[in-house]
Chains A and B, each alone.
Chain A
Amino acid sequence: MTVAADVRTEIELPDRSETANWWSRVRQFVRRNPLGAAGAIVIIVMFIMAALADFIAPYNPVANAFDRLHQPPSLENWFGTDQFGRDVFSRIVYGARTALLVGFVSSFIGASIGLVLGVGSAYFGGRTDLIFQRILDVFMAFPLIIMALAVISIFGTGAQNVIIAITIPFIPRCARVVRSSALAIREMPYIDAARANGFSHSRIILRHMVPNVMAPFLIMITAFVGQAILLEASLSYLGLGVQEPTPAWGLMLQGGAEEYAESAPWIAIFPGIAISLAVFGFSLFGDAVRDELDPKLRSQ
């Protein structure tokens, strides 16, 4: 090497020390965002209920007991029993599984497809982008529930089809939000550097652009989960979602609300509370995640 030593200033680097303490970050999050923390607690309780349903639920959620119909809340049946004698508390615990499964799977798949489509649309730009956005406009013109109903009427009912029905209306919503972030990323010099190096379109989109729009993507996912749970409950309530005897909150409302509203209100009240709490919890947590990930909105 013919290079003078003073030009190449070697910069000595200390080894990385693990300063970011996980626990202190959690405490900081709770202090900065108490509402988000409350939402997180609701979500954690839901996860525990779903994971340990076999141990928490005192009764089999699908076993009928015709000797104990319409029992009011008591020590044996905490939330009472329904018109088939099934334990409402057990059904709510197992219902958390359905809610979380549908909520997470549909929002994750919907947001991921939207992510790739949105980034791709922004990356290719021009006419591709224009046509693609108009197609998304058509999808966006339908309200969530109408779109989901249309999909259900094509594919039929059942848990799997409910997931598809909820996934599809999420795709354009996520694609739209992600595209706007991706448009800014596209103009960054590191994307120019990738293009100047002849990287393939898929490499630029997946390795260089997608990781840089993760913040809006995560915000969309957390916001979608609550909506998906509500949508699943609505579809089930309309009899178009999960079918009996699967324990699902919307389904429990349907069975209980109409006929027994006066004589046995607990059949509808408790699943209603569960739905509200879950949606509330995910919205609060979603807002908190947005505040954490978006430095512009972060208030110190």
Chain B
Amino acid sequence: MTAAYVTEPGAAPARAAVRSEDGTSPRERDTERRTVTAPDLITVHDLKMHFPVTEGALVPRVVAHVKAVDGISFTIRKGETLGLVGESGCGKTTTGRCILRLELATAGEILFDGNNLIELDRKSMNALRQKIQVIFQDPYSSLNPRMKIGEIIAEPMQVHRTEPDRAARAARVTELLRLCGLDPKFADRYPHEMSGGQRQRVGIARALSVRPEFIICDEAISALDVSIQAQIINLLEDLRDEFNLTYLFIAHDLSVVRHLCHRVAVMYLGKIVELAECDELYNNPMHPYTQALLAAVPVPDPEVERRRAHQIVKGEVPSPMNPPSGCVFHPRCRLAVEDCARAVPEFRELRLGHWVACSVI
């Protein structure tokens, strides 16, 4: 139990932290390559997003705050994929929206290429938006139904003037549709003429159109059929390798995250409770919430599934309007001691690159 507080909380591990185990999977080789030179691309420090709850129609009065995101910190290196997991309402999506500045964060800083995204004025932010793109969860509502596919993909290029003339944009649309596995003829179609998987490919093509460095995948695959999910995951993986993209992969499907991500952060009620290298987190979960979350993943063998010990978290998720004192997980935690209700646990690095917010373990 060493609390080696030497780096920024949630920082990516240094070169030495890369596991020297039998690195057979491509991702592990990739991890090695990535951590040699890759600089930090985005650093989120103590990010808070509190939504005011108002009462009264004419003279609104703030009666409470929904603490959707309450002081989270993490770093993503260039070329790395960070998974952000947690149950519904834990603040994963809000985190993504704060980085995109669809919500203006209450406090904290988001450093991207040395710019604090929270303090930038609208003009400089819009210039940076070219580098930060997003893929949304619902492929049915993330494309404007009144625009043709070609227009949808070309519009960001037009606005950011990456391809100033029409012919170049049309050529790039064709290239992007091919890249995302779609027939270029789709450029003349409307979104309603396509299936969910095809639409999600269009969403990916739109995100890639302005050659971004960082893509936020906000539950990008959870609305798709399982068979389509696999295709889209593979597509995202190939695109990452081809263009050296950095992803923030927001999801609740733990097996998908394990497949795609280099590091994983687990969120609960607006806070990150555990952050570690992917395999480390899955093989050695330390936080009781992470343990329960992993234990909830069904085993694809009915015999084993029936016999294994199920670890069920008791109770409901408390309201983020009125979170529990101390450690937010303590009312549901199996390890909770008296002190948990008082002291907010420190986010400690218990092993190299393995951060846990729990004062008991």
Chain A residues with CB under 8 Å of chain B are 1-4, 7-13, 15-16, 188-190, 192-200, 203, 207-208, 211-212, 214
Question: Looking at the complex, which one of A8, A190, A197, A199 makes contact with B181 (CB distance below 8 Å)?
Answer: A8
Asked whether A203 and B134 contact (CB < 8 A) given A7-B238, A11-B181, A192-B102, the answer is no
A8–B235 touching, CB < 8 Å: yes
Q: How far is the CA of A198 from the CA of B189 in the complex (A)?
A: 25
| 0 or 1 for each of B168-209: is its CB under 8 Å from A? (1 = yes) | 000000000011111101101100000000100001001000
Does B34 count as interface, using CB distance less than 8 angstroms? no
A198 contacts which chain B residues (CB < 8 A)? 125-127, 129-130, 159-160
A12 contacts which chain B residues (CB < 8 A)? 183
Asked whether A190 and B143 contact (CB < 8 A) given A7-B181, A13-B185, the answer is yes
Question: Looking at the complex, which one of B100, B179, B186 makes contact with A196 (CB distance below 8 Å)?
Answer: B100
Does B311 count as interface, using CB distance less than 8 angstroms? no
Does B289 count as interface, using CB distance less than 8 angstroms? no
B198 contacts which chain A residues (CB < 8 A)? 11
B89 contacts which chain A residues (CB < 8 A)? none
Residue ID in chain B nearest A199 by CB atoms: B159
CB proximity of B200 to chain A, nearest CB, Å: 12
Q: How far is the CA of A94 from the CA of B260 in the complex (A)?
A: 73
B182 contacts which chain A residues (CB < 8 A)? 10-11
Does B298 count as interface, using CB distance less than 8 angstroms? no
Question: Looking at the complex, which one of A7, A211, A214 makes contact with B231 (CB distance below 8 Å)?
Answer: A7
Does B144 count as interface, using CB distance less than 8 angstroms? yes
Question: Looking at the complex, which one of A15, A197, A212 makes contact with B156 (CB distance below 8 Å)?
Answer: A197
User: Told that A190-B143, A197-B156 touch, could you supply 14 new A-B pairs with CB distance under 8 A?
Assistant: A2-B238, A2-B242, A4-B238, A7-B181, A8-B178, A8-B179, A8-B238, A13-B186, A189-B136, A196-B133, A198-B126, A198-B130, A198-B159, A200-B159
B241 contacts which chain A residues (CB < 8 A)? 2
A197–B129 touching, CB < 8 Å: yes
**Main DSSP-derived SS at the A contact region:** loop
Does B145 count as interface, using CB distance less than 8 angstroms? yes
B231–A9 touching, CB < 8 Å: yes
Does B339 count as interface, using CB distance less than 8 angstroms? no
| 0 or 1 for each of B101-143: is its CB under 8 Å from A? (1 = yes) | 1100000000000000000000001110110111011100111
Sample of 8 A–B contacts (CB below 8 Å): A8-B178, A11-B183, A12-B183, A188-B141, A197-B133, A198-B159, A199-B155, A212-B144
Q: How far is the CA of A200 from the CA of B125 in the complex (A)?
A: 12
Q: How far is the CA of A8 from the CA of B201 in the complex (A)?
A: 10
B188 contacts which chain A residues (CB < 8 A)? 16
CB proximity of A165 to chain B, nearest CB, Å: 33
Asked whether A193 and B231 contact (CB < 8 A) given A13-B183, A198-B160, A199-B155, the answer is no
A192–B136 touching, CB < 8 Å: yes
B183 contacts which chain A residues (CB < 8 A)? 10-13
A4 contacts which chain B residues (CB < 8 A)? 238
CB proximity of A148 to chain B, nearest CB, Å: 31
Asked whether A193 and B142 contact (CB < 8 A) given A2-B241, A3-B242, A7-B231, the answer is yes
A207 contacts which chain B residues (CB < 8 A)? 147, 155
B155–A7 touching, CB < 8 Å: no
B133 contacts which chain A residues (CB < 8 A)? 196-197
| 0 or 1 for each of B318-329: is its CB under 8 Å from A? (1 = yes) | 000000000000
Does B306 count as interface, using CB distance less than 8 angstroms? no
CB < 8 Å A-B pair total: 93
A1–B242 touching, CB < 8 Å: yes
Does B146 count as interface, using CB distance less than 8 angstroms? yes
Q: How far is the CA of A194 from the CA of B129 in the complex (A)?
A: 11
A196–B242 touching, CB < 8 Å: no
Residue ID in chain B nearest A214 by CB atoms: B146
B156 contacts which chain A residues (CB < 8 A)? 197
Residue ID in chain B nearest A192 by CB atoms: B102
Does B255 count as interface, using CB distance less than 8 angstroms? no
CB proximity of B196 to chain A, nearest CB, Å: 13
Q: How far is the CA of A271 from the CA of B252 in the complex (A)?
A: 69
Q: How far is the CA of A4 from the CA of B241 in the complex (A)?
A: 12
Residue ID in chain A nearest B144 by CB atoms: A190
Q: How far is the CA of A212 from the CA of B147 in the complex (A)?
A: 10
Does B234 count as interface, using CB distance less than 8 angstroms? yes
**Residue among A2, A4, A10, A189 facing the most chain B CB atoms (10 A cut-off):** A189
Q: How far is the CA of A203 from the CA of B159 in the complex (A)?
A: 10
B235 contacts which chain A residues (CB < 8 A)? 7-8
B141 contacts which chain A residues (CB < 8 A)? 188-190
A193–B136 touching, CB < 8 Å: yes
CB proximity of B159 to chain A, nearest CB, Å: 6
**Residue among A10, A199, A212 facing the most chain B CB atoms (10 A cut-off):** A199
B132 contacts which chain A residues (CB < 8 A)? 196
Cβ < 8 Å to A, chain B residues 218-251: 231, 234-235, 238, 241-242
Cβ < 8 Å to A, chain B residues 76-105: 97, 100-102
A200 contacts which chain B residues (CB < 8 A)? 159
A211–B146 touching, CB < 8 Å: yes
Q: How far is the CA of A192 from the CA of B101 in the complex (A)?
A: 10
A193–B181 touching, CB < 8 Å: no
Asked whether A10 and B181 contact (CB < 8 A) given A195-B102, A203-B159, the answer is yes
Q: How far is the CA of A9 from the CA of B242 in the complex (A)?
A: 17
Residue ID in chain A nearest B123 by CB atoms: A198
A212–B146 touching, CB < 8 Å: yes
Residue ID in chain B nearest A187 by CB atoms: B141
A188 contacts which chain B residues (CB < 8 A)? 141
A193–B129 touching, CB < 8 Å: no
